[in-house]
Amino acid sequence: MKLHYYAETDSLYIELRDAPSAETREIAEGLNVDFDAAGNVVGLDIDGASGKLDLSRLETTDLPIASLKAA
């Protein structure tokens, strides 16, 4: 899983799987979900992220993380 923040558009993309998106659906205002060709969720795109989320902090709980990489 990867988190991508795009300051120029103030959007946060949560990449759940490294797979190409075949379809995008807006499920709520400013929340888009990407699906692969089989209908599996690939990622979530949150528009206006800084107004909806606390982007200053990231917390995980009980994730079996093998590696952690910051860019």
Please indicate, yes or no, if residue 24 is contained in any of the structural domains: yes
Please indicate, yes or no, if residue 60 is contained in any of the structural domains: no
Q: Tokens standing for 35?
A: 């699906």
Q: What average pLDDT does range 30-39 have in this prediction?
A: 97
Q: What average pLDDT does range 31-57 have in this prediction?
A: 96
Q: Would you call 43 exposed, middle or buried from its count of C-beta atoms within 10 A (0-12, 13-18, 19+)?
A: buried
Please indicate, yes or no, if residue 9 is contained in any of the structural domains: yes
Whether pLDDT at 71 is above 70: no
What is the reported pTM? 0.86
Q: Which of 32, 45, 34 is nearest to 4 (CA)?
A: 45
pLDDT above 90 coverage of the chain, percent = 77
Please indicate, yes or no, if residue 32 is contained in any of the structural domains: yes
Q: How many domains does the chain have?
A: 1
Task: Give the pLDDT score at 33.
Answer: 98
Please indicate, yes or no, if residue 71 is contained in any of the structural domains: no
Q: What average pLDDT does range 35-47 have in this prediction?
A: 98
Range of the domain at 43: 2-52
Instruction: Write out pLDDT tens, residues 45-61.
Output: 999 999 999 999 888 88
